[in-house]
Amino acid sequence: MSTRNSARWRRTTRLLVAPAALLVAGALVAAPQVQAAPASVLASFTDDFDGPAGSGVDGGKWVHETGDNVNNHERQWYTDGTANAALDGQGHLVITAKKENSGNNCWYGACEYTSARLNTSGKFTASSGHIEARMKLPRGQGMWPAFWMLGSDIGNVGWPQCGEIDIMENVGFEPNTVHGTIHGPGYSGSGGIGAAYNGPNFSDDFHTYAIDWSADRIVWSVDGNAYQTRTPADVGGNQWVFNHDFFVILNLAVGGYWPGDPDGSTQFPQQLVVDYVHVS
């Protein structure tokens, strides 16, 4: 049983798809909002984040999520627009966490931090393939960047029945470690199934984080080095829920049960710099 897995579970229950409201761990959670599916969605996905410095992400590919995350006790308010998620003019998306009052109230009072969370719901989904991002991670106590996926049927079946694939998560107190995990019915929260990859300080340079995914097999890799494989045999007789459409999520959280809150050693602003997201 790990605090890390419990924290990751709570992260999924706040801002995402639901028809009305979610009952999570005995507490009613306000329904997150999601982009309605357009008449047609993208058949493939490539975003190299080319564009003028200061411009926003491509609205034909990404949806901004806004609000706080009471369930995971994250400290940030996720904003819309370019204040916390913008192109740098050099082929990167920069998600910036700032120590500032957003003018909104978070679960703990006046919000102390801002950041951004983006997803492809209603724009692009995949049920298999090579899903990869090249990123340079932030650093410091309390930082929690993530590149992950949720089942697109979450609004109908809820979490964890929809499934969750965490392609990459990192917490600031482990600068040399990233994590990959799956969550589904009977293996969510503290029972999430995953592994860690230890390498260099992932804040010092760009690295690629990927999965190779088929209906009954997911392989995680960092810089092309496979470090974990999961199949239906790994879920203890429970349902394997990774054979349908999922959408992609990028976010930079500040604080929470797993990473802990920022402290006096944490320097702001911090940035998650994304070179590309490719699905092939």
CB neighbours of 59 closer than 8 A, spacing ≥ 6? none
Distance, CA of 85 to CA of 78 (rounded, Å): 10
CB neighbours of 33 closer than 8 A, spacing ≥ 6? 15, 17, 65
Query: Hey, what are 56's tokens?
Result: 């926003």
Sign of CA dihedral 17, 67, 135, 81: positive
Q: Tell me, yes or no, if 169 is annotated catalytic.
A: yes
Distance, CA of 33 to CA of 51 (rounded, Å): 28
Q: Which of 74, 112, 132, 169 is catalytic?
A: 169
Distance, CA of 15 to CA of 156 (rounded, Å): 15
| Cα distances (Å, whole numbers) of residue 216 to 55, 92, 128, 235, 242 | 39, 33, 10, 11, 7
Query: Hey, what are 169's tokens?
Result: 């998560």
CA-based nearest residue to 12, from 154, 156, 214, 212: 154
Q: Which of 65, 112, 164, 174 is catalytic?
A: 164
Would you mind telling me the total number of residues written for the chain in this entry?
Answer: 280
Distance, CA of 88 to CA of 209 (rounded, Å): 21
- Residue 101 phi/psi, 5-degree rounding, is -90, 120
Q: Tell me, yes or no, if 100 is annotated catalytic.
A: no
Distance, CA of 177 to CA of 75 (rounded, Å): 22
Active site residues: 164, 169
